């Protein structure tokens, strides 16, 4: 089959602000970069970085300053100047960890130990969701489209109120899910009749066409079918889109990924993996029936898997991946022309970030490039086996074992050699880590730099520091 460009609709870049929220100036630089790379919209997930007010002020992050109302408006104005639509994403059922983690709202959890899923039976639950939406909509004048999340609603049906509802109604967990989402969607349409409502599709994938048609969601929502894998099943995905269409949901979205979907601890993305995901989506887009209105594709860039998980790859190291994915959609493949556009726009020799090289004094550069380079240098050191597994080296295991340390019986000559090697590794790591920190705090809050370094650097430096301390004690004891 001939490769064809993405056929229709918007190409949205997902801004996940629940981790590593960019400083406003850097955020504007990123938006301009997204536009140059071919994006024409933003899917913005604020979470606790939104300036909630009144009773909802407790939802604001305490780790770093949230975006001010003026900054939220400036984000939209800057995007609009580039011809980019802004679609806010507000979770309304699952993945409400940033809301339900608070003790004062714990009674609204479906299960006490599941802080992500809202209890759909309490009137206060709907009031909470609608107040969150009201504040977000109010700060997005001219808004046309709203994303209500509703993915991965874990443990739904496990709560006592749900069990009673299921038993008394004689209905399924799937119908319980549809009941809440329909209630939210209807409330939104009653309040803001003009708004288009988008939602994630995963909770509906196992439902029959008849169940979806009878749910009341038809005409209310536009499902966004997501799949981030390089081996996306084209036939199965087309079949899923056709099912939604047959149920009456003819306006649909796709969602791919440029970062944040390889593993929860990935530090540097591999561009080819994400390009392959987009190549599969292109096959889907050119295989669906003409009656399906594919409104666009959201290219997700998850910053955390959920509110309480670790940071995924930061945006600067993922910009070559994003650029390659967008150009793949525009050209229908990652052709030489498409790859040339990436290298030209970003000023890099390759679409793979690891082959980026150092900053060139001439030509273009992308926002955050210096940070990306510093991260790559540090990451190379962190992945060096001699450093990462120094505790398991022959010399440490042979002359500085736990037994040696406990008895303080260490060969002083070997102890000094171990100390010198560990000290050299530690100094090198600390210098590279400080370079990363200095650059990171220019673009991100201090809290992000601290978290990133603790997550990636501390696991490697802590054992080295322990070895230095133990060697010093043992050698001193042997020679004194």
Which are the catalytic amino acids? 152
Q: Which residues contact 341 (CB under 8 A, 6 or more apart)?
A: 323, 327, 331
Residue with tokens 């709907």: 126
The pair of structure tokens assigned to 342 is 């990436």
DSSP strands (E only) in 201-302: 222-226, 251-259, 293-301
For 467, phi and psi rounded to 5 degrees?
A: -65, -45
Do 321 and 294 form a contact (C-beta atoms < 8 A)? Answer: no
CA distances from 114 to 61, 127, 308, 406 (A): 20, 20, 12, 43
For 196, phi and psi rounded to 5 degrees?
A: -85, 140
Do 368 and 374 form a contact (C-beta atoms < 8 A)? Answer: no
Do 128 and 108 form a contact (C-beta atoms < 8 A)? Answer: yes
Residue with tokens 């990171």: 440
Do 200 and 226 form a contact (C-beta atoms < 8 A)? Answer: yes
Burial of 424-439, coded b for 16+ CB within 10 Å and e otherwise, reads ebbeebeebbebbbeb
Q: Which residues contact 143 (CB under 8 A, 6 or more apart)?
A: 86, 88, 137, 192, 195
- Determine the distance from the C-alpha atom of residue 153 to the mean position of all C-alpha atoms in its chain, rounded to a whole number: 17
Q: What is the largest CA-CA distance in the chain?
A: 86
The pair of structure tokens assigned to 59 is 């939802």
- Helix, strand or coil, per DSSP, at residue 87: strand
For 333, phi and psi rounded to 5 degrees?
A: -170, 165
Hey, which residues does 111 pair with through a beta bridge?
114
C-beta contacts of 118-124 below 8 A and 24+ residues apart: 118/92, 118/93, 118/94, 118/180, 119/159, 119/161, 119/162, 120/93, 120/156, 120/162, 120/176, 120/179, 120/180, 120/183, 121/159, 121/161, 121/162, 121/165, 122/161
Minimal CA–CA distance to 316: which of 67, 40, 27, 17?
Answer: 27
């Amino acid at each position: 089959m001939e490769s064809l460009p993405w056929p229709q609709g918007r190409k949205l870049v997902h801004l996940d602000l629940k981790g590593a929220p960019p400083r406003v100036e850097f955020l504007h630089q990123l938006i301009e970069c997204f536009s140059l790379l071919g994006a024409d919209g933003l899917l913005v997930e604020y979470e606790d970085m939104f300036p909630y007010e009144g009773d909802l002020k407790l939802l604001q992050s305490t780790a770093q300053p949230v975006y001010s109302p003026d900054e939220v408006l400036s984000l939209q104005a800057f995007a609009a100047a580039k011809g980019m639509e802004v679609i806010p994403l507000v979770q309304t059922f699952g993945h409400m960890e940033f809301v339900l983690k608070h003790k004062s709202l714990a009674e609204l959890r479906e299960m006490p130990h599941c802080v992500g899923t809202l209890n759909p039976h309490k009137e206060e639950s709907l009031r909470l969701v609608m107040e969150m939406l009201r504040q977000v909509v109010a700060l997005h004048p001219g808004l046309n489209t709203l994303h209500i999340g509703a993915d991965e609603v874990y443990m739904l049906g496990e709560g006592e109120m749900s069990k009673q509802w299921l038993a008394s109604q004689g209905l399924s967990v799937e119908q319980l899910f549809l009941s809440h989402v329909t209630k939210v969607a209807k409330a939104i349409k009653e309040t803001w009749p003009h708004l288009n409502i988008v939602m994630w599709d995963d909770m509906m994938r196992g439902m029959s066409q008849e169940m979806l048609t009878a749910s009341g969601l038809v005409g209310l929502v536009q499902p966004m079918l997501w799949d981030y894998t390089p081996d996306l099943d084209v036939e199965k995905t087309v079949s899923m889109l056709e099912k939604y269409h047959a149920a009456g949901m003819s306006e649909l979205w796709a969602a791919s990924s440029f970062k944040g979907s390889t593993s929860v601890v990935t530090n540097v993305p591999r561009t080819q993996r994400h390009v392959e995901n987009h190549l599969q989506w292109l096959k889907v887009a050119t295989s669906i029936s003409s009656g399906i209105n594919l409104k666009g594709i959201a290219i997700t860039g998850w910053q955390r898997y959920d509110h309480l998980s670790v940071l995924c790859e930061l945006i600067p190291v993922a910009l070559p991946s994003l650029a390659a994915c967008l150009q793949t959609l525009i050209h229908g493949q990652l052709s030489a022309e498409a790859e040339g556009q990436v290298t030209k726009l970003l000023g890099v020799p390759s679409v793979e970030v690891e082959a980026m090289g150092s900053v060139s004094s001439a030509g273009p550069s992308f926002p955050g490039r210096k940070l990306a380079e510093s991260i790559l240098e540090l990451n190379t050191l962190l992945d060096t086996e001699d450093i990462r597994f120094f505790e398991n080296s022959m010399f440490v295991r042979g002359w500085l074992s736990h037994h040696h340390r406990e008895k303080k019986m260490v060969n002083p000559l070997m102890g000094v050699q171990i100390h010198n090697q560990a000290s050299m590794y530690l100094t090198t790591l600390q210098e590279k880590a400080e370079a990363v920190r200095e650059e990171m705090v220019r673009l991100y809050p201090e809290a992000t730099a601290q978290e990133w370094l603790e997550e990636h650097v501390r696991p490697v430096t802590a054992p080295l520091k322990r070895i230095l301390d133990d060697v010093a004690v043992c050698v001193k004891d042997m020679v004194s």
